[in-house]
Amino acid sequence: MKWDCCSKTAAIMGGFSFVFGVAMLAGGYDAMFNAILKQNMAIVEGSRSFDIWRETPMPVYLRVFFFNLTNPYDFETHGAKPILQEVGPYVFSEYHMKEDVTFHENHTVSFFQKRWWYWEQEMSGNNSLDDVLTLVNTVPVSAAFSTPKILLIGFNMALNKIDEKIIVNKTMMEVMFSGFQDPLLDMVQESIVWDNGTFHNQSWVNELPNGLLDYDKFGWFYNRNESKYYDGWFNMYTGEDSIDNVGKIDLWNDSRKTPFFDAPCNEVVGSAGEMFTPGLDKTFIQFYSSDLCMSMKLFFKEEIEDKNGIPAYRYWGSVNTFANHTFVPEHKCFCVEGICAPTGLLNAQSCRMGSPAFISFPHFFNADPALLDQVSGLSPDPEKHAFTMDLIPELGIPVSVAARMQINMRIVPYKRVKILRNVPDVYLPLLWFEELAETPPDLAGQMKALLFIMHSPTMTIIFSIMVAVGILLIGLVVGLAFAHHKARKAEERLVLTDYRY
């Protein structure tokens, strides 16, 4: 009986090892691994991804560079080519938090995103928040651009009355966050008469961009620090139903289309910007940017290995990202009110409340070379000025991001506006910035371990060994049972022989 018990135990163990090993090799392991991966990658409460997604575990660093206008008098009075001096970096640590997070039955989650910044003096070197910058005043430039020609005479009289200036000297903090007062903004605010939710004004004031009507000060990030509403309302897929949907944007400001461009450039598609569909290929990735009011494409550039040794795909802003319709015909819908930007520029007029703002990569990198001829002081360099994003293709998770953009203003001379009568016709760079983020070492270690498990033949070898062991155990039990059976038969024959004698 003791031997029978051992045989049964060995047979059961062998059978289990064989069946389990075959099941795992036939796809069971992949299914189990994918289930665990889905559980951790889906944006649901309790998952590892949810905690990282809801509040960034490490700061993103915002580095800002301004273009000082070093020949303001000649620029303003003689239409001279602007001579620019890049100053910076001015460095801030940037934090993100999702607020008003609400999950929905269709496996989506809606939220607002709050961002805030802290000054980093040590990382900024000798640069200070009190540095005085010499810049073109974008307030009258934007106002003149939006004012109909028939009203420019009245507009000019108003500017002369308030002694508006085309060149201003302001501190970096004023230009960036705290904002600075401007005579035109003050006059607009004083002239607004509200009546049952609408205002009545001078005719030319009614034509001004919304930004001039809504703000009492001008600053690039004025009223943006700690605002949860600035970026808009997002609704994205959680990936709970399918990991292929994780991070995909569904709605922005309650719509799948925007009013800023013609179709199909107005479609809200791609990623919400932080996670991408696992299993990336070597074509392009796409994400919706509320700052640009469009879904931006980054194209595959090369395979790389980050500083932690993690293999990744690098995607970047190529010549096609902001190419105009001459080079990419389907980009015709990025023209705004008949104005098609030179290649390498995005016409952000409709997105930036009517101002003649144009977005490019820093120093006009990957843009029309003619733009460089209009100014002095730029020198595009792919190492410094390219927009890049490095993603783990198997997971769709970024390991390194260098998001770089430049804000330019279209300066146009107006004969009827004194302060703009003699300026040159130019796409003038005002500032550029880069947002830098990298995977922290502890998370990088987890990613490397996960990738090792995904690619290592170790588990295949283990399951193959289990199958082999199962076969050996079953074979051993069967062999021993057969031998035992033969021995019993031999004994029986011997007993019969003895009985006959």
Position 129 confidence tier, pLDDT thresholds 50, 70, 90: very high
User: Tell me, what amino acid is at 407?
Assistant: I
**CA–CA gap between residue 268 and residue 144 (Å, rounded):** 31
Q: What 8-state DSSP symbol labels residue 378? A: -
Assigned token pair, 142: 């934007």
Q: What is the pTM of this model?
A: 0.83
Q: What is the pLDDT of residue 29?
A: 41
Burial class (CB in 10 A: 0-12, 13-18, 19+), 33: middle
Question: Mean of the pLDDT values across residues 25-44?
Answer: 56
Question: Is residue 25 over pLDDT 50?
Answer: no
Question: Mean of the pLDDT values across residues 263-270?
Answer: 94
Q: How many helices (H) and strands (E) does the chain have?
A: 14, 17
Give every CB contact of residue 254 below 8 A, 6+ residues apart in sequence: 233, 235
Question: Mean of the pLDDT values across residues 358-362?
Answer: 97
Assigned token pair, 302: 């090369």
**CA–CA gap between residue 460 and residue 473 (Å, rounded):** 20
Among 289-293, 365-369, 425-429, the least confident range:
289-293
Q: Which residue has the higher pLDDT, 409 or 452?
A: 409
Position 2 confidence tier, pLDDT thresholds 50, 70, 90: very low
Yes or no: say if 403 and 146 are a contact pair by the CB < 8 Å rule.
no
Yes or no: say if 144 and 155 are a contact pair by the CB < 8 Å rule.
yes
Map out the domains of the chain as residue ranges: 2-37+457-500, 42-453
Q: What is the pLDDT of residue 439?
A: 81
Rounded to 5°, angle at Cα 57 from 56 and 61: 70
Give every CB contact of residue 286 below 8 A, 6+ residues apart in sequence: 269, 270, 271, 295, 296, 297, 298
The model's pLDDT over 455-494, given as tens digits with 9 standing for 90+, comes to 555 555 554 554 444 445 444 444 555 555 565 665 655 5
Q: What is the pLDDT of residue 21?
A: 43
**CA–CA gap between residue 58 and residue 45 (Å, rounded):** 20
* Pairing outcome for strands 311-316 and 294-305: antiparallel
Assigned token pair, 266: 């107005």
The model's pLDDT over 3-23, given as tens digits with 9 standing for 90+, comes to 456 555 555 554 545 444 444
Q: What is the pLDDT of residue 497?
A: 55
Q: Which residue has the higher pLDDT, 413 or 479?
A: 413
The model's pLDDT over 53-89, given as tens digits with 9 standing for 90+, comes to 898 877 799 999 999 999 999 999 999 999 999 999 9
Q: What is the pLDDT of residue 5?
A: 60
Assigned token pair, 207: 């034509």
Q: What three-state secondary structure class fits 268?
A: coil
Q: What is the pLDDT of residue 274?
A: 85
Rounded to 5°, angle at Cα 90 from 86 and 92: 150
Give every CB contact of residue 242 below 8 A, 6+ residues apart in sequence: none
Question: Is residue 359 over pLDDT 90?
Answer: yes
Q: What 8-state DSSP symbol labels residue 249? A: E
Yes or no: say if 250 and 237 are a contact pair by the CB < 8 Å rule.
yes
Give every CB contact of residue 414 below 8 A, 6+ residues apart in sequence: 144, 152, 420, 421
Assigned token pair, 261: 């461009």
The model's pLDDT over 174-233, given as tens digits with 9 standing for 90+, comes to 999 999 999 988 888 777 654 444 444 555 666 666 666 677 888 999 989 999 999 999
Average pLDDT, the chain: 83
Assigned token pair, 78: 């003689």
Q: What three-state secondary structure class fits 116?
A: strand
Question: Is residue 449 over pLDDT 60?
Answer: yes
The model's pLDDT over 297-324, given as tens digits with 9 standing for 90+, comes to 999 999 999 888 888 999 999 999 999 9
User: Tell me, what amino acid is at 40?
Assistant: N
Question: Mean of the pLDDT values across residues 236-252?
Answer: 91
Q: What is the pLDDT of residue 251?
A: 95
Give the alpha-carbon dihedral of 205, 206, 211, 215, to 10 degrees: 60
Q: What is the pLDDT of residue 19?
A: 47
Q: What is the pLDDT of residue 20?
A: 44
The model's pLDDT over 319-341, given as tens digits with 9 standing for 90+, comes to 999 999 999 999 999 998 888 99
Q: What 8-state DSSP symbol labels residue 196? A: T
Position 173 confidence tier, pLDDT thresholds 50, 70, 90: very high
**CA–CA gap between residue 233 and residue 241 (Å, rounded):** 22
